[in-house]
Chains A and B, each alone.
Chain A
Amino acid sequence: MLILSRKIDQAITIGENIEISITKIEGDSVKIGITAPRSIAILRKEILEEMQSSNKAAAAAAMPAKGSLVASSAKQLMAQLKAKKADDRKNSPPQPLSTAGN
């Protein structure tokens, strides 16, 4: 890994069209400005890691044996949604499509 020392407002460039500058240093946190083409994905690494571990957990949980679990969760979820919809209808009756006299 290449490690460079930079001061506030100094920058580094990567290739032809990526520039990274240090904009603020406060205690143990550094504000970094990045200029790059829109096609370059820039992500906080912890989000990427969270997605990886979330996918792995989901895949591990979705074993074939879970089929019945999915079906019963589905039943419960649909029942809930139906109940909620019925509730919504009660609270806000549908508006008439047209008003008389038009």
Chain B
Amino acid sequence: MPQGLFGFPDIRSMELVFDKEELPFMWLREQVQDGLAFVVLEPGGIVQNYAVEISDADIQILGISGSEDTMILNIVTISSEHPGKISLNLVGPIIVNRTTLVAKQCIINNHEEFSARHMIDVGDTEA
């Protein structure tokens, strides 16, 4: 993660972990105690008509050539006041090169088509 994340420019490395119970949500977290953590998900099958266009510069940094070696992760915000509504950042996905595991949060070129706070109503949660 050579350039960190927006707002967290010093983060260089995070791990992606998941619990079967929580899928499709996964955790992207720093490998330290009480480090930074995000809930993320892969948008495939969840966000309709989501397409990501990223700049040549980003493609170069990531070293990706096509969708086969690429993973897209959208950061999820789960509000504790409204646990039934989650919000996805579709404008700034984290793109991962599956082979080299180089990752970068990219602002997509087609950002005007998508929301940085794409709401999904998941209904009442029991928590």
Mark A residues whose CB is within 8 Å of B.
38-41, 43, 47-48, 50-59, 61-62, 64, 66-78, 80-81
Task: Write the B99-127 contact mask toward A (1 if CB under 8 angstroms, else 0).
Answer: 00000010100010000110010111111
Residues of B within 8 A of A40 (CB): 57
Interface contact B37-A52, CB-CB below 8 Å: no
Residues of B within 8 A of A57 (CB): 77
With contact pairs A38-B56, A71-B19, A72-B127 given, residues A66 and B116 touching in the complex (Cβ less than 8 Å): no
B68 interface residue, CB < 8 Å from A? no
Known: A48-B6, A56-B7, A66-B39. 11 other contacts (CB 8 A): A38-B56, A39-B57, A51-B91, A52-B6, A58-B39, A68-B127, A70-B22, A70-B39, A73-B86, A73-B122, A77-B46
Interface contact B56-A54, CB-CB below 8 Å: no
Residues of B within 8 A of A70 (CB): 22, 25, 39, 78
What's the nearest-Cβ distance from chain B to residue A70, in Å?
Answer: 5
Interface contact A55-B91, CB-CB below 8 Å: no
Residues of B within 8 A of A56 (CB): 7
Interface contact A72-B56, CB-CB below 8 Å: no
B24 interface residue, CB < 8 Å from A? yes
Interface contact A52-B7, CB-CB below 8 Å: yes
Residues of B within 8 A of A76 (CB): 84, 122-125
Interface contact B75-A73, CB-CB below 8 Å: no
Residues of A within 8 A of B7 (CB): 51-53, 55-56
B36 interface residue, CB < 8 Å from A? yes
With contact pairs A38-B55, A39-B56, A73-B86 given, residues A58 and B38 touching in the complex (Cβ less than 8 Å): yes
What's the nearest-Cβ distance from chain A to residue B83, in Å?
Answer: 6
Interface contact B89-A51, CB-CB below 8 Å: yes
With contact pairs A47-B91, A51-B105, A78-B24 given, residues A73 and B111 touching in the complex (Cβ less than 8 Å): no
Question: A75–B122 Cα gap in the complex (Å)?
Answer: 9
Question: A78–B25 Cα gap in the complex (Å)?
Answer: 10
